[in-house]
Amino acid sequence: MRQNNPTLLNVDDEKLFRFRGNIANEETFFRTGRLYIPTFQELNDPYDGLIHATYSQDSLSLKKVLDAQLVIVRPDMLSEARAAYIERMIAGKSPRDFQTLLDDIGVNDFRREWKVLSFATSPHNELLWAHYAACHRGICLQFDILRDSIFNERQPVIYASKPPIVTYPSGDMIQAVLTKSISWSYENEFRIIRADIHSRFVDIKPEALTGVIFGVMTSDKDKTLIKKWIQEGPMKPHFFKTRLKRTQFEIEIIDDD
């Protein structure tokens, strides 16, 4: 029986949200708790992971700068392997090629190897539903950040009119990749950044997923499929759905009864 006054979703500072558009890609997460983590290269903003960098030729030799940068973008590489790699890189190069070498590491390797999980602070933003949840046909995952220590790694995105310039090797690489154009500020994004080049998944504790929110146009077929996967997996989230307010350009989120 439909409630006259359905329960509204309560949003607080202890929650983060992740919008998802391709329902078929979520089966692994719902069944196992393993969340796919994309590289910067896979994101929808070409500036993501694009490091604008320079270096001080007076204070550090090129080899030291390159080595320091490799430590950041290739933490799995041993010191001997880094030294050999650098020797191959600089062989036959002139000083004017040094900036290109640094950009090759700072941009190409970084964007290809480092990974990022993105979260929003609210599930009510209709633009996020449109851009990341298949035009309201997808879902939004609600996480309780106190139930899994992985969320201690979260960092807020900085929105600015210009990208920062990083000075190798002492510049703040993390701050650089946390900075996005002010055009994206509506997302109010938090990120978890990982340098592990071997894993494409992170494990989320089952109790951390506290809600699954269906979009205004999520199909009944997809709802049924998601509920089936969750029933067969370790997580027990609450189910919500979105609906449009008639007198305002807003969405509200209520129990999926």
- Per-residue pLDDT tens digits for 164-220: 877 765 557 788 889 999 999 999 999 999 876 677 899 999 999 999 999 999 999
pLDDT in the model for residue 169: 56
Average model confidence (pLDDT) across the chain = 85
Choose among 254, 204, 225, 252: nearest CA to 16: 204
Alpha-carbon distances, residue 97 vs 89, 91, 109, 196 (angstroms): 10, 11, 17, 29
What's the confidence (pLDDT) of residue 152? 95
- pLDDT in the model for residue 192: 94
| Residue-wise pLDDT tens digits, 220-242 | 999 999 999 999 999 999 999 99
Beta pairing class for 209-214 and 238-244: parallel
The owner of tokens 């071997």 is 198
> Stretch 8-16: mean pLDDT, rounded?
77
Question: Which secondary structure element, helix H or strand E, spans residue 221, and what is its range?
Answer: helix 220-231
Task: Give every CB contact of residue 191 below 8 A, 6+ residues apart in sequence.
Answer: 116, 117, 118, 119, 154, 155, 156, 157, 178
Residue 157 is classified by DSSP as P
123-144 tens-digit pLDDT: 999 999 999 999 999 999 999 9
Distance CA 1, CA 142 (A): 26
- 15-44: average pLDDT: 93
100, containing H or E segment: helix 98-103
Per-domain residue ranges of the chain? 15-40+115-255, 52-113
Q: Which residues are paired to 180 by β-bridges?
A: 159
Taking the C-alpha atoms of residue 250 and residue 29, their distance in angstroms, rounded to an integer, is 29
* 8 A C-beta contact, residue 164 and residue 52: yes
Tokens 């504790």 appear where? 205
Contact 155, 214 (CB under 8 A): no
pLDDT of 1 over the 50 cut: no
Percentage of the chain modeled with pLDDT above 70: 81
Max alpha carbon distance in the chain (Å)? 77
- pLDDT (average), residues 243-257: 90
Q: Which of 2-11, 82-91, 186-195 has the lowest mean pLDDT?
A: 2-11
- The per-residue pLDDT for range 104-129, each reduced to its tens digit, is 665 666 777 788 999 999 999 999 99
The two tokens of residue 165 are 């310039």
Q: What is the pLDDT of residue 2?
A: 41
Give the burial string for 101-120 (b: 16+ CB within 10 Å, else e): bbeebbbebbbebbbbbbbb
